[in-house]
Structure 1
Amino acid sequence: MGEGTFGKVLECWDRERKDMVAIKIIRGIKKYREAAMIEIQVLEQLGKHDKGGNRCVQIRNWFDYRNHICIVFEKLGPSLYNFLRKNNYRSFPIDLVREIGRQLLECIAFMHDLRMIHTDLKPENILLVSPEYVKVPDYKSTTRSPGSYFKRVPKSSAIKLIDFGSTTFEREDQNYIVSTRHYRAPEVILGLGWSYPCDIWSVGCILVELCTGEALFQTHENLEHLAMMERVLGPLPLHMLKRVDRHAEKYVRRGRLHWPDGATSRDSIKAVMKLPRLQNLIMHHVDHSAGDVIHLLQGLLRFDPSERLTAKEALRHSFFMRDHFRR
């Protein structure tokens, strides 16, 4: 069903329960085994508190086979990333973004209440519960290829969060690098220590991606990434730039980002320059409720983690107060 650095996921038939399951088979390497044991511990904790089992993926069982930890999960639909990819990276309707965002934030609020930080939120780690979809006319299609006049929309907006191998319990001053690049918060890159708000930043990036169909910050290097953030969201606060750790000092000169002087190439500068401001980006893709979405995203994507909305605050935002979309 999928493959990653950790190993692979197979679709299997459970002969006792007479239904399909997904089994995550971990490579027999020490660090992956350790992450798998953390994941099992986290899943069992979450399962104990998530009574209806409708927030995070449910663990059915686990076993150790020839040095491979194997974790048995309920079988779910495709990841949001795979759904977008098969849909030629076309955006989701805003009502669907609202429902997915609501569930995602409910799940994060639930984890944060249990003192857990996911640290690797991205569309690959959010699965639709059902693989079913409908085809609807795509009026915004610019390509002329056959089939491009229709886009897929999931029949149900129900989602579940997966992959708790990087989940950590809250501690003081966590400084190591977390999150997949595109969804990594500025405080992580600048080495300022991170906590719950790093998950919230990732949620902001994911919601933009669902609205537009494409990842917001497509980059592979830190300075370019920070420059992209400034381009989309405005300047980084001085007090954050003043406190960068020694690894990140090279990105700052005289109290501001060392850009474009520090850029590795002309192409890098071009990549940053072609990015629009957040408001323009959203208005280009979202017809109704664009104002609400922009306001919510500005709260989720605040540079200063202490000023970022919490998951519970975000859930009270007017964007989520609209009519409930059918799940």
Structure 2
Amino acid sequence: MSAPPTPPAEMPLFKDSRFKPMSTPCERADSYRPGGFHPVNLGDVLGQRYRVIRKLGYGSFGTVWLAIDLTRLSSYIALKIYAANVDSANELSIHQYLSANCQRDANSKFVLLLSDYFTLQGPNGKHICFVTKPMGPSISTFLNASFEEYDPLNPPTRRFSTSRNKHILKSILSGLKFLHDNNVTHGDLQLGNVLLPPRDLSTLQQSELEQNESNSQLDPLVRKDGKADRWSPKYLVVPEPLDAADVPQDEEVIKLIDLGGAFYSNNPPASVVTPLGLRAPETILQDKISPAIDIWSFGCIMFGLLTDNVLFELFTFSGERNTIDDDHLLQLSEIIGPLPEDMLAKWPRRGLYFGSGGNRLNTSPFDFDDSPFGQAKRARSKGRRDPPVPLTSLEDKFHEYRLSDVDAAEANEIASLLRDILHIDPLQRPTAAQLLERPWFRD
């Protein structure tokens, strides 16, 4: 049988996949192509010292694995293998810079730093590999994990107490203080990048940690043409993140991860990768950015943890950035407060929503959305333009959705704190260091 053709460097449509269809809940099989993911099979030894025993996760960047360090008895590490087309040079530079400064900074323990790195040459190109301590699930994964028993009449929810949330938020602030004190802005602060510590792996047998055909879902990859594929692994492995540690709160060290969107604060990029709903006003308007964008994202995260709700509900179905940005700015101007004139001047489409005197017009971003979603929405309204529904203020929204263990007095204190954090003017936002000195975080 002749050798198969080299796959294209671009991700194909599902119908054009070279593999037979499969429903494995993990990365697409076609991620393994030139410029894409490195093929890893359980038991592989990488970097001449790390033997892979378990898949922890994956993303657009590549894959993450649990491995044994063969040079140290019973020592486990996490191995993040980047796709060959991912430029991680800036992230590596920042990691090296931070590692050189971490010894003198107690807050460095709140950021997951590298213990090693190496490059890996494979059939899909050259891959950078980051080695770190293993961690437990992200806060996002933990809160959104499915329940073994589900009652549709009384659906369970997974949320933290306010005391636990305060501990998490202080950990995030401590990590931000370390980064900001060392001239680094995270740029992608979200609960998916905040990890809980894992249970003590030294108390477990290797057999309890490793994946294999008998205890995990390993789905063989089969080409449609029946040929052997040199660019992919033998099978796809369903990730199994490590369980979170069950330790006293004062012993729990929560860490910020993923500096792929980070930058040196004195040399900011033109754009950042902050999740849409967590963007600061200056990010939306493509204005000058600074560490204050992390503080804004932190404020949105704080609101979410303490209310089990989102601060800005963005409808991203259209995919049109103008629509999403306009919707975000309109919500921001009602929930937080009117944008100052210098910011309004940088909003190219504000005339669609405000009259010359600043009065709110009877329009919405979807009136100008040319995507199929926007067209369908206008068709359903049959040309009617209902007046915009006013949104409640930050304080009112927090009081409405606050967790049940937050009394009125504490709610007032938190709402005041959020008002300071979510200041329209980035120069007026408190720093991470200043926030850690606020009474609510010190109690």
TM-score (norm 2): 0.60
2:152 equivalent to 1:96: no
Q: What does residue range 168-317 of structure 1 map to in structure 2 within 5 Å?
A: 168-171=263-266, 174-219=269-314, 220=316, 221-242=324-345, 244=346, 248-252=347-351, 253=354, 254=356, 256=358, 261-264=363-366, 273=389, 276-283=392-399, 284-286=401-403, 287-288=406-407, 289-317=410-438
1:282-311 Cα distance to aligned partner (Å, 9 max, x none)? 223232322221111111111111111111
User: What SS does the corresponding residue of 2:290 show, helix, strand or coil?
Assistant: coil
Q: Which runs of 5+ in 1 are unaligned?
A: 133-151, 323-327
Q: Residues 263 and 269 of structure 2 are in contact (CA less than 8 Å); yes or no, is this contact kept in structure 1?
A: no
The 1:27/1:275 distance shift into structure 2, 3 A limit, reads: farther
Please give the alpha-carbon distance, in whole angstroms, between the structure 2 residues aligned to 1:111 and 1:262. Answer: 39
Q: CA RMSD in A?
A: 2.9
- Taking a change above 3 Å as real, the CA distance of residues 6 and 251 of structure 1, as seen in their structure-2 partners, is farther
8 A Cα contact 2:193 2:257, kept in partner: yes
**CA drift at 1:168:** 0.7
Q: Which residue of 2 aligns with 1:19?
A: 75
Kept in 2: contact 1:121–1:199 (CA 8 A) = yes
Question: How much has 1:224 moved relative to structure 2?
Answer: 0.9
CA distance in 2, matches of 1:112, 1:209: 23
Task: Encode CA deviations 1:78-103: one digit per residue, 9 max, x unaligned.
Answer: 10110111276643211112111112
Residues 226-247 of structure 1 deviation map (CA, whole Å, 9 limit, x = unaligned) = 12222322222223212x1xxx
Q: Secondary structure at the match of 2:71?
A: coil
The aligned amino acid for 2:366 is T
Q: Which residue of 2 aligns with 1:68?
A: 127
Q: Which residue of 1 aligns with 2:176?
A: 108
Distance 1:257 1:123, change over 3 A: farther
- The structure number with the bigger radius of gyration is 2
How do 1:104-183 residues align onto structure 2 when only pairs under 5 Å count? 104-130=172-198, 155=247, 156=249, 157-171=252-266, 174-183=269-278
Q: CA distance change for structure 1 residues 250 and 65 in 2, over 3 Å: closer, same or farther? A: same
Contact 2:307–2:402 (CA under 8 A) maintained in structure 1: yes
Distance 1:192 1:160, change over 3 A: same
Structure 2 residue matching 1:2: 3-state secondary structure: strand
Return the alpha-carbon distance in structure 1 between the equivalents of residues 95 and 66 of structure 2: 19
Partner of 1:8: 63
Per-residue deviation, 1:173: 6.7
Indicate conservation of the 8 Å contact 1:117/1:167, yes or no: yes
Corresponding pairs, count: 294
Corresponding residue for residue 89 of structure 2 = 37
Shift of 1:174: 4.5
Give the Cα separation in 1 of the matches to 2:260 and 2:186. 9
How high is the sequence identity, in percent, across the aligned residues? 28
* Distance across 1 between alignment mates of 2:423 and 2:191: 21
Runs of 4+ residues over 6 Å off in structure 1: 266-270
Q: Distance in 2 between matches of 1:251 and 1:235?
A: 12
Tell me what 1:80 maps to: 139
Q: C-alpha displacement at 1:68, in angstroms?
A: 1.1
Query: Partner residue of 1:47?
Result: 99
Distance in 2, matches of 1:154 and 1:237, equals 47
Change (3 A) 1:261 1:26: same
Determine the C-alpha separation between the residues in 2 that align with 1:39 and 1:172.
14
More strand by share: 1
Q: Is the 1:175–1:188 Cα contact (8 Å) retained in structure 2? A: no
Q: Secondary structure of the equivalent of 2:115?
A: strand
- Are 2:295 and 2:429, in contact at CA under 8 Å, matched by a contact in 1? yes
1:46/1:56 contact within 8 Å kept: no
The CA distance in 2 between the partners of 1:274 and 1:50, in whole Å, is 47
* Displacement after TM superposition at 1:258 (Å): 7.1
Find the aligned partners of 1:185 and 1:255 in 2 and give their Cα distance.
Answer: 26
Q: In proportion to residue count, which structure has more helix?
A: 1
Gap change, CA 1:291 and 1:168, over 3 Å in 2: same
Aligned mates of 1:153, 1:224 — CA distance in 2 = 40
